[in-house]
């Protein structure tokens, strides 16, 4: 878990913006496919199906390998092989989401910002590669919690760090895992580029985020008791 400093507290508004990583900060679907297909190929297994890719895209590497090697006695060997992976070529396949940096610059100093991700050892390198460390006050990976998403522990850890309650934070995610995480943590959920998710709000471009947060700050009721499509 890494941290810096927060922002000035404002009464009656969203104080913290929490981001998922894969699919939100970066487009990593192709990179994730390459990573897991490399492991599967080493063990003479078929490449990922679309359903498998969707699963591993939002799970920890431990859960993903257990899923891909269920019933296969070579799982411990696959875990050892994973730890020898050269992430260099794979990381070159990652791309930042459009408008992200401008949005983070606008958020910086105005809101507390954090990341809650199921990534493990690769998170620090990803942030350094794109120069994003300066924009986040706290980063919580699955290595920093006992229970990864969709358990709410990562969100709860962030709220505790900032001294906030659940109504003072929002979580931006792109998967059903993120939807469940936000729901279990009781924070406002903003779905990024996934209209199939049940969310308090949907975001198609990061240019929309600041205006949305400003509207929420002036709204007497920021969220409904039950999530709806918006």
Average pLDDT of span 16-29:
97
User: What digits encode the pLDDT tens for the residues 177-205?
Assistant: 999 999 999 999 999 999 999 999 999 99
> Tens digits of per-residue pLDDT, 66-119?
999 999 999 999 999 999 988 889 989 999 999 999 999 999 989 999 999 999
CA dihedral 45→47→53→57, nearest 10 degrees, is 70
Q: At 225, is the pLDDT very low, low, confident or very high (cuts 50, 70, 90)? A: very low
2-27+95-217: which CATH topology? Rossmann fold (3.40.50)
- pLDDT over 80 at 222, yes or no: no
- Cα–Cα distance, 62 to 69 (Å, whole number): 11
- Domain segments of the chain as ranges: 2-27+95-217, 29-91
C-alpha to C-alpha distance for 21 and 221, rounded to whole angstroms: 28
Q: What pLDDT does residue 2 have?
A: 59
Residue 54 has pLDDT above 60, yes or no: yes
């Amino acid at each position: 878990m890494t941290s810096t400093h927060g922002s000035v507290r404002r009464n009656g508004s969203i104080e913290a913006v929490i981001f998922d990583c894969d699919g939100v900060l970066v487009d990593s679907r192709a990179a994730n496919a390459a990573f897991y297909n490399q492991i599967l190929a080493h063990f003479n297994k078929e490449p990922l199906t679309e359903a498998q890719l969707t699963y591993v895209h939002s799970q920890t590497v431990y859960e993903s390998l257990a899923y891909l090697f269920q019933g296969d006695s070579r799982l411990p060997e696959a875990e050892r092989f994973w730890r020898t992976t050269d992430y260099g070529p794979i990381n070159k396949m990652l791309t930042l989401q459009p408008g992200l940096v401008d949005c983070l610059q606008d958020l910086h100093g105005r809101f507390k910002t954090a990341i809650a991700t199921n990534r493990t050892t690769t998170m620090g390198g990803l942030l350094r590669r794109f120069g994003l460390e300066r924009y986040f006050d706290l980063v919580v990976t699955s290595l920093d919690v006992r229970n990864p998403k969709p358990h709410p522990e990562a969100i709860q850890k962030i709220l505790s760090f900032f001294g906030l309650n659940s109504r003072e934070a929002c979580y931006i995610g792109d998967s059903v895992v993120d939807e469940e995480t936000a729901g279990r943590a009781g924070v406002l959920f903003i779905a990024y580029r996934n209209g199939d998710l049940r969310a308090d709000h949907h975001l198609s471009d990061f240019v929309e985020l600041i205006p949305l947060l400003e509207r929420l700050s002036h709204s007497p009721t920021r969220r409904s008791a039950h999530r709806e499509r918006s």
